[in-house]
Amino acid sequence: MKDFDVIVAGGGLVGAAAALGLAQAGHRVAVIEAAARRANHQPSYDDRTLVVNAASLNILSGLGLLPAELTRMPVREIRITRAGGFGTLQLKAEQHQREFFGAVIVARELGNVMLDALPAQSGITELCPARLETFTVETDHVRVRLGDGTLIRGRLLIGSDGTHSMVRQSAGIESAHHDYGQSAMIFNVRPASAPAGVAWERFTPRGPLALLPQPEGRLGVVWIDRSEAIDEAMSWEDHELIARLDRRFGPSLGGFNSPGARARYPLVRQRTRRPIAERVAVIGNAANSVHPVSAQGFNLGLRDAASLIETLQGSGDPGSPETLEAYARSRYPDQEATVRYTDTLARAFTNPSLLARFGAGLGLAAHAAVPGLSRRLVRSAMGFRDPVTRLARGNR
């Protein structure tokens, strides 16, 4: 039976980042991943465009995961508008003494970087394809059985195995789950005209619509609506999709053409207030899943990984109660605030109540008019909620 300091169940983007950082800090790490190690088959290594905020860019850079050849489109301006109501907000990075708020990166391309980094990093053993079948917690370690009968042991088991995490459920970690009854349809288009470095978020009564800069002048579209409406939209002919996108977004970019392949994802909110158990911690979507409004999901998970890397540094026993309690305390404020913020936005702008919709518009107008509010919004959106880890701070 092989022994490790840390076992990571789930080798997606967040799990891989955590494994790399822990191995770089000197831990012996095993990564269990069910999908064969090819980016085309990894569940989280797909064509979605990730809005990677400034803190997350620092984390990825600190882990050696931002090579020069990785294509990233800087976001220097964010324009937020409402359909059928007042309230707009325009945020420019230069007004906040930043070169950019973050960057858009295709998940598949970042996944390819991680696939190359994992086998090259000493201290990492990849068990792939393999499934975690069961685990038992003993006094000073966790004993893990894989689907093929292989047994391994570790001082700490990290669950990074998605919203329906087997690790979380088997460890008895409580989590509150809410189905929004919405799905996101993801595709890309070419606009007639679009300024570089600008991201758009348009709130509509049926759900938000985001347009994100991509290479070669294209825009990544995140179209959110009721799940049954998205099911129907997936079957539209391209010309109908473009016509409806024109109507939903408006004429400001002169229209769209050449839509790419579509994918859909159901939207849920999941909140795990205490993401630890005896010798177990859950991170990323295994702990907290958020509505994609404001593009915080991947960034929240990456901050989980950075905090865990920092908390375990110098710990003689990475799975000790004291270490895990310290991790849970450090993450609670950021996780709580991010889940609450995204949930509030998701509900406020689709609430049929005139009072609620008026309040949502008033909130946008207030952020536009009051510098202190916009500064706080920008700091949070860039991932700099306290406490900020050393990796997230980067060189600043």
Question: Mean of the pLDDT values across residues 18-43?
Answer: 84
Domain interval for residue 330: 2-71+102-177+268-350+385-393
CA dihedral 198, 204, 207, 211 (to 10 degrees): -20
Structural domain includes residue 6: yes
| CA–CA–CA angle 268, 270, 276 (5° rounding) | 155
Q: What is the mean pLDDT of residues 232-257?
A: 95
Indicate if the pLDDT at residue 18 is higher than 90: yes
Residue 250 phi/psi, 5° resolution? 105, 180
pLDDT digits (tens, 9 = 90+) for 125-145: 999 999 999 999 998 999 999
Please indicate, yes or no, if residue 284 is contained in any of the structural domains.
yes
User: For residue 322, what is the domain's CATH number?
Assistant: 3.50.50.60
For residue 313, give both structure tokens: 């540094």
So what's the pLDDT on residue 377?
A: 77
Residue 258 lies in a domain: no
How large is the average pLDDT for residues 252-259? 94
Into how many domains does the chain fold?
1
Average pLDDT over residues 197-222: 92
Strand partners, 89: 80
Q: Is the pLDDT of residue 26 over 80?
A: yes
With beta carbons less than 8 A apart as the criterion, state whether 8 and 29 touch: yes
Q: Tell me, what's the pLDDT at 369?
A: 44
Mean pLDDT along residues 54-67: 97
What would the DSSP string read from start to end of 292-313?
Answer: STTS-HHHHHHHHHHHHHHHHT
CA 345, 87, 103 angle in degrees (round to 5)?
60
Within a domain: 286? yes
Tokens 């465009």 locate to 49
Residue 262, domain member (yes or no):
no
Confidence bin at 49 (pLDDT 50/70/90): confident
Q: Is it the case that residue 89 has pLDDT exceeding 60?
A: yes
Q: How far apart are CA 260 and CA 252, in angstroms?
A: 21
Beta carbons of 393 and 59 less than 8 angstroms apart: no
Let me know if residue 363 belongs to a domain.
no
The percent of residues above 70 in pLDDT, for the chain, comes to 89
Residue 307 domain-assigned (yes or no): yes
Position 18 in a domain: yes
Q: Is the pLDDT of residue 357 over 90?
A: no
